[in-house]
Amino acid sequence: MTGRLIVVGTGIGAARLTAEARAAIEAADELLYLIPDSISVLAVEQLNPRSRSLADCYVEGEQRRDAYARMVEAMLEPVRSGKLVCAAFYGHPGVFSLPPHEAIKQARSEGFEATMLPGISAEDCLFADLGVDPAEAGCQSYEATRFLERRPAIEPRAALVLWQIGVVGSANHSAEFQAPRLPELIERLRELYSDEHEVVVYEASSFVGVAPLIRPTPLAELAAAVTPASTLYVPPVEQP
């Protein structure tokens, strides 16, 4: 039997699992998953009892890239032994998630079939929950630390989405809130927008019936509004 890898997204919350992803989870000889909420974990384990979490790849205080390397190996090991492996990651597996891309690339380089199935991402939830159409004024999207490091040219008349602002500047896995470069990020934004410009700290809800976190705040007061899982939405500057 030839091994195969299918990477799927479980969406944000158990209710947003696609039929395509569900079928792949059920059919797998082995299911590996990295999902933060217990309800979604229970849902995928019920679909396939031959499952185990990738969360133990993380080590407190260690660089996240070391954990990612362990995840890639955990996905490939059963593929090499001839199994149909499904790896399920919350949200969209190809959005702000390095291990799925690396595992697929390596599996293909070793001659195995590897595919990715999309899921409902936090960005999809953001557009729905905030009532935002990214096509209206345009939308720029960056991971917060890379936004600081690369300093891309920003068009203030288009929307800006910054991901992982709650861990900006942190390369290590930690259960504690660590965003050492948050003050620097805010200063960079103040170069582009006024202190009074209203931004939105956003966090998608993982549970049916529970409202998402939507916290509008003036840019000058952003630091007090950030949570570890925050995404930042900066609306376009209105044109005169």
| Angstrom distance (rounded) from CA 82 to CA 217 | 52
| Helix, strand, or coil (residue 52) | strand
Phi, psi of 183 (to 5 degrees): -60, -40
**CA–CA distance from 218 to each of 129, 163, 193 (Å)?**
19, 18, 10
* Short-list 130, 152, 125, CA closest to 141: 152
Instruction: Identify the active-site residue in 33, 58, 90, 202.
Output: 90
Asked if 25 contacts 19 with a C-beta cutoff of 8 angstroms, the reply is: no
- Is position 90 annotated as part of the catalytic site? yes
Phi, psi of 193 (to 5 degrees): -135, 160
Phi, psi of 60 (to 5 degrees): -55, 130
Instruction: Identify the active-site residue in 4, 16, 64, 181.
Output: 64
* Short-list 153, 95, 150, CA closest to 121: 95
* Short-list 57, 114, 119, CA closest to 89: 119
| Helix, strand, or coil (residue 66) | helix
Half-sphere exposure of 73 (CA within 13 A, CB side): 7
Active site residues per annotation: 64, 68, 90
